Structure 1
Amino acid sequence: MMTTFHRLPADLLGGLAASSGGVASSEALADAQLSKQLLLIADLLRRWPGPAAERDHVVALLEAARRAAPAAAARVLGSPEVGAWIAIVSRALEQGRAERADLLHIGAVAAAACAAAGVDAETEAPVRDGAVALPGIGRLTVGEASSARVTVAAGNLIVDAGHGPIAIGELGNDERWQPLRLLRAGDGGLRAVLALDDVDPYRHGYHAPPAPRLSPAEFLRWQDLFTEAWQLLAEHVPDRAAEVAAGLRALVPLQPDGHSSRSATIRHLYGVFGLTLPPTAADFAVTLVHEYQHAKLSAVLNLVQLSDPADERRYFAPWRTDPRPLAGLLQGVYAFAGVADTWRALRGADGVADAAEQEFADARLHVDRSLATLESSDALTPTGRQFATRLRQFTDGLLAEPVSDAAARRAQRHHDDIHQRWLAANTA
C-alpha cells in the first residue's frame, strides 16, 4: 500500500497560523491524515497475528478498491471512523491485548472500501453485541455469532452471520438496520454534510461516553439546530464555514451530564469531534469552529513541531482550571482565536448581537494574554515562533475591533477573577 510523504507548504502553514487557512489547507490536512492512516494500516498488516492467507486476502481487497476508485476508497480509508479503529487496535497490539474482534474489523473496513469503489468482494467481519458495524455505512443486528460473511456484489452489501443472507439495500425501515444518518444544511456553494455517528463501535475516547442510538425525534432536534447554526456560519463567517465543510466529516453525540453542554476533539483524529447538543444555534456554530480549530492544529502537529516536547513547565490558561503544558496552551490559544473571530462576526446576527459582543470581548482577551505567554516562552521551535507571529498579527486585528466599554470592563474583570482563582488553586 503506497503512501505519500507529506510536507505542509509554507503558504498553507502561514494561512493556518493566521487562524483560518481555507479550503486548500483543510484538504491538505485531510490528505496527510489519509497517508498517516494508510501507514498505520500497513503496519497493522505487517504485524498481523493471524494466518497469512487471511491478511493477504484483506490486502488484495484494499488494493483492488484503491485501484478501481482511488478517491472513493480514500474517502473510506481516511475517515475518522477508520482512524478511531486504527488507534484503538494499534494500542491493543502494542500492549499485547488485541482481541480478534478488533483485528477482524479490518474486514468491515475492506468491505466498506470495496462498496464505495464498486468492487465485488467477500470478506469476514466481527459480530459485536449481536451486530455487524460497517464504517461509514451503519450497524446491522444479526443475532448471536462471532463473525459474519460480508459480500459486496454489484454495489450491494449482503451480510450472513449463519442465519441466512441479509441484503442491506432491501431492509428499508427494518429495525435491525441502523444506517449512519447525515446532517445536511445550506445550499449553493456553502453546503455542509456531516455524519451524526451514533452507531460506530469505536466512537468512544472522549471525556464523556458516546450517546446510544438517537431516536428519530432526537435526530430531528440535532438537524434543526444544525441547520440554524450553519446558516449563521454561512452568512456571517463564510470563509470559516467553507473550511469546516471541507474538513469536518462527522459529529459524535455524547451523553449529557444534565448540567452543561460539552465538546471535545481527540488529538489523533481529524474530521470529527464529540459533543452534547448545544443549547442554541449560535453556540452550535461557535462549537463547530472551536473544535475544528483543535482538529486542524492537531493535524498540523502531525507534520511540524511547534514546541519543545521536553519542556515540562506548566502555564495559566483562562479556559482551564489546571496548569497546562505549552502544547496545551497553544491548542487553547489557537481554538479560541477562531472562537473570538466567530463571535466577532455574530455580533451582526439578529437575536445574538448582545451576547456575541460580550463573548467576543472575553475570548479575544483570553487569546491576547495567553498568546503573550507563548511568545515569551523559550520552548517554541523556530517554526513555532513563526506560527505565533502570524497568530499575533491575526489577534491584533481582533483587538483593533471596537467593543463597548462595558463589555471590555466585564471581560477584564472576568479574566482577572479567573487568574486569581487559578493562582490560589495552583501556587503554594
Structure 2
Amino acid sequence: MIRPLDLGATQFTGLAGGYGGAAAVRALAHAQLSKHLLLIKFVVATWTGDPEPRDRAVDVLTRAQSAAPEVVADLLTDPLVGAWLARTTRRLRGAARSATPLDAECNHLSTVAAAAAALAGIDADLIGQPIDGGLALPRLGRVTVDRPGHPPVAVTVRAGRVDVAGASGWAPVRRLTATTAGQRLDVVLDDLDPYRGGHHAPPADRLGEADVRRWQEVFAAGWALIAAHDPDRAGELAAGLRTLVPLARLDAHSARSATIRDAFGAFGLTRPATAAEFAVMLVHEFQHSKLSGVLDLRRLTDPGAAELHFAPWRTDPRPVGGLFQGVYAFLGIAQLWARLAGVPGLPAQPEFALAREQVRWGLDSLAGSAALTADGRRFAAGMRAALDELAAVPVPAETAREAEEKVREVHAGWQERLRS
C-alpha cells in the first residue's frame, strides 16, 4: 500500500517551535523529491511537442537513477528544478504565461537529464533547447549557445563531460562554503539558471570574481555567528539550504531577501553588508522554506479565507497565510538574537526585543483567526510555546518599552492606511 508522505508528530511539534532539527528538515527535503517526481510525470504526460526529446530525456533520467540513485535524487531536489517544474506545470494547466515557447520550457527536462548523466557518469545523447541563449545544467553550469531563438541542439554526455552543438561558452556554477565549530555549509551561488527569478527584485547578472570573493567573505562570517552560537539552527541549514540567488540591488542602501514557495532550500538576496545581517537573512528566509515545506504536507490555513490582518512589520493588511509565514520567520529571528546576546558589538538586545514583540502581536492576531485548520492551530500553539520561552529572556525595561513603541507606531500606520 502506498501511503502519502507526512511528518511525524515529534517533527511537526519541533518545527512549530521554530526549530525542528536536521532530521525534520531532511524529511521536508525528501518530500520535495516525491513532489518533483510527480511533477516530472505530469510534464511528460502532458507535453504534446516532438516526442523524441522527451523520450530520450526520460530514458537518460531512468538510467542515471539506476546507476547513481542518491546522486540523481540530490539533483532532482535542487530548488531551481522545483521552480522550473512549478512554472511549467502552471503553463501546461493554463495558469501562467511566459515569453519562452512552451516546448522549450518543457524540454528543460533534457537539460536536467544531461546534468543527471554527467553526475551519474553515464553516456547520453539528448536534444536540448536553449532558454535565454543557453542551457543551464543544474548544479554544474551554463553552456552559451550561439544560435538565435530556441532551436533544437544536440547534447552529448561522455565520461562526465557535456558537449552541446553550437556552444560558444561555458560558465561554471560558483559555490559558497564555510566551516565553523565542525559545522559546514556549502551552497550554490546561482547567477545562471533561467528559473532563478520570481523575487521582488530581478536576479543579478553574472557576478565578477571580485564580487564573488566579497560574497564568500561575508557568507563565512555570517555562518560563523550561527554555527558558534546557534548550532541547532546551523544543523538545519546544513541539512536543507542548497542555493542562494544574488538579486540586483535596486538602490544603494536597502538589503533585500525573499523566498519563493516552489524552491525549497533556496532564496534570493542582495549581498549583505555585515556578518550579522547575513546570519539574520539566512535564518529568516530558511524559516520561510521550512514552513513552505510543511505546507506541502499539511494545510495550516483555509486558502479561500478572505481575512486580512495586521502584520507588525508592515503597514499593509496581510492575508492569514502571509501573516503565518511572517510570524514563523520572525520567531526564528528572535531565537537567533537571543543566542547572539553575548557577542560583542552586536545590537542583540534591541533586535531581540523587537522581534519578540512582533511575534507576540502576530500570534495574538492569529489567535483570533477563524481561517486556521486544526493543524494550523496546533502549529500556532507550538509557536506560542516558543514565544513563552523567549518571554523569560531578560532585557532592560527601557529596551522592551522601545520595542513595543516601534510596533505600536507600525500599527498606527496600518490603521491610517485602512482609513485612507
TM > 0.5 fold call: yes
Write the deviation string for residues 297-341 of structure 1: whole angstroms up to 9, x where unpaired. Answer: 011011101112232110000112210111111111101000011
- In structure 2, do the counterparts of structure 1 residues 130 and 389 end up closer, same or farther at CA, with 3 Å as the change threshold? closer
Return the offset for 1:132.
2.4
Equivalents in 1 of 2:44, 2:387: separation in Å? 45
Equivalents in 2 of 1:292, 1:334: separation in Å? 10
Structure 2 residue 116 is the aligned partner of structure 1 residue 113: yes
Amino acid at match of 1:207: H
C-alpha contact 1:132 1:141 (8 A) present in aligned 2: yes
Write the deviation string for residues 37-72 of structure 1: whole angstroms up to 9, x where unpaired. Answer: 110110000012123343222211111111111110
C-alpha contact 2:340 2:348 (8 A) present in aligned 1: yes
Aligned match of 1:214: 207
Structure 2 residue 377 is the aligned partner of structure 1 residue 397: no
Aligned match of 2:254: 260
SS of match in other structure, 2:250? coil
C-alpha contact 2:155 2:163 (8 A) present in aligned 1: yes
Aligned match of 2:171: 178
Amino acid at match of 1:151: T
Write the deviation string for residues 178-203 of structure 1: whole angstroms up to 9, x where unpaired. Answer: 11100000156410001000011111
Write the deviation string for residues 373-426 of structure 1: whole angstroms up to 9, x where unpaired. Answer: 112222211111111111111111111100012211110111111111110111
Aligned match of 1:137: 140
Aligned match of 2:21: 22
Write the deviation string for residues 254-302 of structure 1: whole angstroms up to 9, x where unpaired. Answer: 0011130000001122010000011211010010000000010011011
Aligned match of 1:155: 160
SS of match in other structure, 2:4? coil
> Could you tell which deviates more after superposition, 43-52 or 359-368?
43-52
Return the offset for 1:127.
2.3
Of 217, 234, 238, which residue of structure 2 is paired with 1:241? 234
Aligned match of 1:51: 50
Structure 2 residue 203 is the aligned partner of structure 1 residue 205: no
SS of match in other structure, 2:183? coil
C-alpha contact 2:287 2:332 (8 A) present in aligned 1: yes
C-alpha contact 2:307 2:319 (8 A) present in aligned 1: yes
Write the deviation string for residues 154-190 of structure 1: whole angstroms up to 9, x where unpaired. Answer: 22222222x7xx8xxxxxxxxx321110000015641
Equivalents in 2 of 1:108, 1:189: separation in Å? 36
SS of match in other structure, 1:183? strand
Equivalents in 1 of 2:49, 2:133: separation in Å? 23
Equivalents in 1 of 2:45, 2:132: separation in Å? 28
Aligned match of 1:169: none
Equivalents in 1 of 2:274, 2:128: separation in Å? 40
Equivalents in 2 of 1:71, 1:348: separation in Å? 41
C-alpha contact 1:81 1:136 (8 A) present in aligned 2: no
> Could you tell which deviates more after superposition, 88-97 or 189-198?
88-97
Aligned match of 2:280: 286
C-alpha contact 1:236 1:348 (8 A) present in aligned 2: no
C-alpha contact 2:25 2:290 (8 A) present in aligned 1: yes
Amino acid at match of 1:112: A
C-alpha contact 2:188 2:244 (8 A) present in aligned 1: yes
Q: Which blocks of at least 5 consecutive residues in structure 1 are unaligned?
A: 167-175
SS of match in other structure, 1:312? coil
Structure 2 residue 185 is the aligned partner of structure 1 residue 196: no
C-alpha contact 2:284 2:332 (8 A) present in aligned 1: yes
Q: Which blocks of at least 5 consecutive residues in structure 2 are unaligned?
A: none
Equivalents in 2 of 1:381, 1:393: separation in Å? 18
C-alpha contact 2:247 2:268 (8 A) present in aligned 1: yes
Equivalents in 2 of 1:118, 1:4: separation in Å? 33
Amino acid at match of 2:279: A
Q: Which has the higher contact order (CA 8 A, sep 6+)?
A: 2
Equivalents in 1 of 2:120, 2:325: separation in Å? 37
Equivalents in 2 of 1:373, 1:81: separation in Å? 34
C-alpha contact 2:125 2:154 (8 A) present in aligned 1: yes
Equivalents in 2 of 1:4, 1:160: separation in Å? 44
Write the deviation string for residues 87-125 of structure 1: whole angstroms up to 9, x where unpaired. Answer: 222222222865322122111000111212222111122
Return the offset for 1:147.
3.3
Percent identical among aligned pairs is 49
Structure 2 residue 299 is the aligned partner of structure 1 residue 316: no
SS of match in other structure, 1:235? helix
Amino acid at match of 2:404: Q
Return the offset for 1:4.
7.4
Of 253, 263, 266, which residue of structure 2 is paired with 1:269? 263
Equivalents in 2 of 1:54, 1:183: separation in Å? 34
Of 250, 253, 261, which residue of structure 1 is paired with 2:243? 250
Equivalents in 2 of 1:177, 1:267: separation in Å? 30
Q: How many residues align?
A: 412
Equivalents in 2 of 1:279, 1:285: separation in Å? 11
Aligned match of 2:332: 338
Equivalents in 2 of 1:115, 1:46: separation in Å? 25
Amino acid at match of 2:50: P
Poorly superposed stretches of 4+, deviation over 6 Å? none
Equivalents in 2 of 1:267, 1:129: separation in Å? 23
Equivalents in 2 of 1:84, 1:306: separation in Å? 22
Return the offset for 1:129.
4.0
Amino acid at match of 1:365: E
Equivalents in 2 of 1:406, 1:329: separation in Å? 28
